[in-house]
Each structure stands twice: as C-alpha cells, then as structure tokens.
C-alpha cells in the first residue's frame, strides 16, 4: 500500500532543506555545545534514531507524571510530586532539544540528509508540543483549567504558523526569540524553579512576585481584586499567548507592506517572506492567509467540545479526561501539520481538510445538543459514555497518526533507497549497504 502518489515522490529529489536561525542564544551558547555533543555519537547511529531518542525522553517524563498523578490534580488538587520528578523533566527537555538539534548534524556526518529526516523531525516536534503543554501546566500548578487549554491552543498555533510559513516561503525561519530555542529553555527553567520551590510557588500573585505590593502598596490596593490575585502562573501563560498574538500581528503588519528583496544576511519577518515568495511566483499573498483557517476551525471544534455542559464547568476539563483529551488533540494536530510538511517536501497542494476532524466534530456537536436543541447528548449521555468516547478518540487518533507515519516512511525509504533507523542505503543494484560505501561510489562516478 502506498500513501504518496508517484508524481509527488518524484518531487522528493528536487527538495532541499533551507533554514534561518536568528537566535543569539542558539548561535553563541547552544550551538557550540551541540557541535561538540554530536561528536559523541558513533557514525553507525542513524539521525532519526537520535530524534526518536529525544522524544522517548519526553514520553518518559509524561509517564512519570501519570504514575504519580494519573488524575492530573497537581499540587492545587492535593497531589505533590517529588522534586526530583520536575528536575528530571528539565533534564529530559533540555536533552530533547539537544538531540533534536544534532540530528541534522548527524545526517550530514553520515550522508543521510534528506526529506525523510525533516518529516521525522517535525513529527516528533509536533508531538512534543502537546506533551510539554501537559507537563508545563502541571509544573505551573494550573492542572485542570482553561489556562491549560489556552496554553495548548497558543503552542499549537505557533507551531502551525511556523509550518504554514515554511510551506509558502520554502524555508524554516526562527526569529530572535523562538519556541524551539528560547521557548524550550524557558520551560526548562520553569521545571527547575518548580523542583526547587514547588508548584505552589507559581500561585504567588504577580504583584507580590515583582514586589509591587512593597514598592507601591497604594497602587496595588487600587487594583481590581482579580488583578491583585492574578497568579504568576497565569501571567506566564498570558505572556505566552501575547507572544503568539504579537507574532500574528507582526505578520499581518508586514503583509500590508511592499515586497522587498530577501537578503540572506538579514532575512525579514514571516509575512514579508511570504510576500516575496508569492510575488516571485506571481501569486496572490491573500490565499495563503486563508490557509490559516484549518487550524482555527480544528481548534474551535475542540474548544466547543470542552465547553460541555457549561463553560465554567467542563465535563472533560474538571475530570480525569483532560489529559487523554489533550493527547488525542495533539495526535490530530501532528497528523495535520505532518501532511503540510509532506506537501512541502513533495511540492503538492496545501492540505486543507483533515478527515480526523470528523470524530472530534461528532464529539463537539453531540456535547452541545443540550445547548442548542434542548435535549440530552446522544452519545455522551453520562460520564461513563463521555469517558468511553474520549478514550476512543485517543485510540483512533493514535492509530490514524501511526498509519500515516508508517506509510510515509515506507514510501520514502523505498523510493529514495534510504533507511529510517539505520545508516544504510540502496546501491544501484537495489541492495542495502552501508551508507558510507554507497556515498563513496556515487562520488567516484
């Protein structure tokens, strides 16, 4: 069974990965470490194996959280994890980032660079976004709350914007402050602080955290009660959401400006990149904007489902179902952006509709039957039925994404003659041999 059409596979040979990283932290601090770190790995280790190892570290972090707090109650709900757990999350995420950064370096060392590596890398990153939302919200003592859901939306939106931009401009652009670099380091610091002070530390009102209550007590007393008690954790989440809004606003502002030539030494922000890319192809820069709608639509479905039976009392958020719900959502998102990256490397049309939305759409419509039709839900008529449906969504999402990943890997490895988890390639006779040997023969010719 093949997943990728033959004409799309033929475009793989034309693909070349392009990226720009403007991060000061990456250039002067992290990259020297990554350059050294990759030398510790034998040339017999495949780049995708390194990527998968990093994801396994994060999965182990999620596993420890579920072991100690399966109900996702957090300290606010009476469950306090050992401090070493949070420190292990910091270590796991730090090395996830490092392994994610060196897989490309390892690919170049072993001669295994190609579109398969980019697809695999982005797939792991897409899954990690939801994992870290769950873990970071736990460390920030937010747990079962709309703040956790808001964090999921903001994080996925940022990832979608980056993927959307890469599809239309042909390059991955990381700004001076980006999620894959500074964002991850910021979360690592959150885990470390939580390990040292406990999750309740983040419940400290922001006015106390920044000493406003001591510096200007009169001003604080005049603030609304809500702002006086606005937690540091809530402020952290608001800061993240503001970053996404700023990202989007800056893109919109630049969309209205005149196209300018991209200079390699000083690449402009995303919208200008998009404007230049579409202008060069004599295409409208408005249609790509419409392709942001699929994410908005998919996120709206999930939020409407969570709003049952009331916005202030969600049957899913206020129960043990929040984590499996978020995991199912994350898998569906990974499937959606995975198809976008696949379309990017194969030069095929941008995927607009994802059939995996159908299941969640059914859940959202059924959950809102009482609100709009004045009768009980047909499927989720009880807490037990709701649980069954949510877990069924998780299983279906896992199987669908697993099928997508498996078929894509099979198609690309077979067509390009490059293995996924071994440093081997097919020679001209179609036999699998050491990649170094095959590369040397190709150079000799």
343-355 pLDDT, tens digit per residue, is 999 999 999 999 8
Q: Exactly one of 7, 27, 122, 313 is catalytic; which is it?
A: 122
Give the distance from CA 328 to its chain's centroid.
13
234-288 pLDDT, tens digit per residue, is 888 877 777 666 655 554 444 444 434 444 444 445 555 555 555 556 566 667 8
pLDDT at 212: 66
Predicted TM-score of the model (pTM): 0.90
pLDDT at 257: 43
pLDDT at 94: 97
pLDDT at 263: 46
Whether 225 has a pLDDT exceeding 70, the answer reads no
Whether 406 has a pLDDT exceeding 70, the answer reads yes
pLDDT at 267: 43
319-341 pLDDT, tens digit per residue, is 999 999 999 999 999 999 999 99
CA angle centred on 92, ends 87 and 97, rounded to 5°: 130
Does the active-site annotation cover 122? yes
pLDDT at 21: 75
């Amino acid at each position: 069974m093949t997943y990728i059409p033959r004409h799309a596979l033929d475009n793989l040979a034309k693909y070349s990965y392009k990226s720009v990283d403007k991060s000061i932290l990456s250039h002067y601090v992290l990259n020297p470490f990554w350059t050294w770190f990759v030398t510790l790995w034998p040339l017999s280790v495949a780049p995708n194996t390194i990527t998968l190892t990093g994801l396994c570290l994060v999965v182990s972090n999620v596993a420890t959280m579920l072991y100690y707090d399966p109900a996702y109650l957090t300290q606010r709900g009476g469950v306090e994890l050992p401090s070493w757990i949070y420190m292990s999350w910091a270590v796991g995420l730090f090395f996830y980032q490092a392994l994610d950064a060196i897989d490309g370096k390892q690919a170049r060392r072993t001669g295994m660079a190609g579109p398969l590596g980019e697809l695999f890398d982005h797939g792991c990153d897409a899954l990690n976004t939801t994992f870290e939302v769950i873990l970071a919200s736990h460390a920030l003592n937010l747990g079962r709350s709309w703040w956790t859901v808001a964090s999921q939306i903001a994080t996925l939106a940022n990832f979608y914007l980056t993927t959307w931009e890469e599809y239309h401009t042909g390059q991955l652009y990381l700004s001076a402050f980006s999620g894959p670099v500074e964002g991850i380091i910021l979360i690592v610091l959150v885990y470390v602080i939580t390990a040292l002070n406990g999750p309740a530390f983040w419940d400290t009102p922001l006015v106390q955290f920044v000493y406003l209550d001591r510096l200007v007590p009169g001003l604080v007393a005049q603030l609304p009660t809500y702002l006086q008690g606005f937690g540091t954790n809530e402020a952290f989440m608001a800061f993240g959401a503001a970053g996404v809004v700023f990202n989007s606003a800056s893109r919109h502002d630049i969309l209205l400006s005149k196209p300018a030539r991209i200079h390699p030494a000083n690449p402009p922000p995303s919208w200008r990149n998009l404007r230049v890319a579409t202008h060069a192809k004599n295409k409208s820069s408005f249609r790509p904007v419409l392709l942001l709608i699929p994410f908005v639509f998919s996120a709206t479905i999930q939020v409407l489902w969570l709003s049952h039976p009331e916005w202030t009392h969600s049957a899913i958020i206020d129960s043990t179902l929040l984590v499996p719900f978020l995991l199912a959502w994350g898998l569906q998102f990974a499937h959606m952006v995975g198809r976008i990256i696949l379309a990017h490397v194969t030069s095929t049309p941008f995927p607009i509709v994802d059939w995996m939305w159908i299941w969640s759409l059914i859940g959202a419509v059924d959950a809102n039957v009482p609100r709009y039709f004045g009768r009980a839900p047909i499927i989720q008529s009880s807490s037990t039925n709701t649980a069954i449906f949510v877990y069924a969504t998780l299983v279906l999402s896992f199987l669908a994404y697993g099928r997508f990943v498996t078929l894509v890997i099979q198609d690309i490895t077979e067509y390009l003659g490059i293995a996924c988890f071994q440093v081997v390639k097919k020679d001209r006779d179609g036999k699998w041999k050491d990649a170094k040997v095959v590369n040397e023969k190709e150079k000799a010719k």
